[in-house]
Every structure is written in structure tokens, then in C-alpha cells.
Amino acid sequence: MNLKNMVCGLSLIVTGLSTSACQTDDLKFTRAGSAIYTIPAKSGHKTGLLSNYMVNPDCSGGRTPDFKVVTAPANGTIDLWRGSVSPSFRQGHPQQKCNTHKVAAVGAFYTSRSGFVGTDKVVISSKAPGSDVYSYITVHIDVTK
């Protein structure tokens, strides 16, 4: 799976992060309005969990949130990533012209420890730049061989 497809395909997951906000200064508790997802993964392979980018009408990139691991997985690691991607708007979308532009993006990737098979869980918070509002997402990861 290439990064562009992962970021575009998983950006819907992160939509829950930006729309189900809850205000708290304690990152140890998941609050009402949080999102919960289940994602499949292969043992020992890097798997995209979350991503976020914003494209303005003029094709410039918007500000990306800060991701923070609130609860680390018991059987793997999380890599938080910042970089740039090219959006992938469908034919006829008003921002299709932006598909050739690079925009800032953030993502979270999971890699299970080698040989682990079973269910793992991670909780990640997202905070919009300049905001004190946090959103939380719990991801259950079904790891197979």
C-alpha cells in the first residue's frame, strides 16, 4: 500500500477526530464523542491507522492537528508521521485540480511485534493548532499472520 492511497483512504477515519471533539486537559481518559474503529493488520508489517490533511479551495494546504499517543499498544509500536501528500479528489470534484499539489499531512502507523497474532489497542488524541480541544480515537487492531 503506498502512502498516498493510505492517507487518502484513511482520511475518513480522522474526520471523526475533527468532528467529535471534547474539551479536557487530561489526556488519560477517553471522553464522550470519541470514535472507535477496528483495523486489520498483518503481524510485523507497518499498517496505516490514521491520517489527516486539509486542502483549501486555492489548493494550498491547511494546518494539521497534533497527534499524541494516549495509550500505547501492548504488542506493537506506533510511529507518528508528519510529511506531505498529494490529495486524490475524484473526477468532477471542485478540488480535483489540487491533486497535483503537495499538502502537509500527519499520520499514525502501527507495527506489531514479530510473531504477534491477536487484538491490540491504541488510543490517540488529536488537537487542532491553536485549540485546547482534544478529540480521541480508539483503534482496535486485529493482527493476523
Here the cell at position 80 is 507518528
User: Model pTM?
Assistant: 0.72
Phi, psi torsion values for 81, nearest 5 degrees: -125, 140
Instruction: Report the pLDDT value the prediction gives residue 21, as an integer from 0 to 100.
Output: 34
Q: Which of 33, 23, 31, 29 is nearest to 132 (CA)?
A: 23
What is the pairing mode between strands 103-112 and 76-85?
A: antiparallel
Range of the domain at 107: 3-144
Q: How many domains does the chain have?
A: 1
| Residue 113 near residue 139, CB atoms below 8 Å | no
Q: How many residues does the structure list for the chain?
A: 145
Q: Hey, which residues does 138 pair with through a beta bridge?
A: 36, 123
| Residue 8 near residue 121, CB atoms below 8 Å | no
- CATH number where 60 lies: 2.60.40.10
Here the cell at position 85 is 501528500
**pLDDT tens track of the chain, all 145 residues?**
444 434 433 443 443 333 333 333 444 444 445 789 999 999 999 999 998 899 999 999 999 989 999 999 999 999 999 999 999 999 999 999 999 999 999 999 999 999 999 999 999 999 888 888 888 999 999 999 9
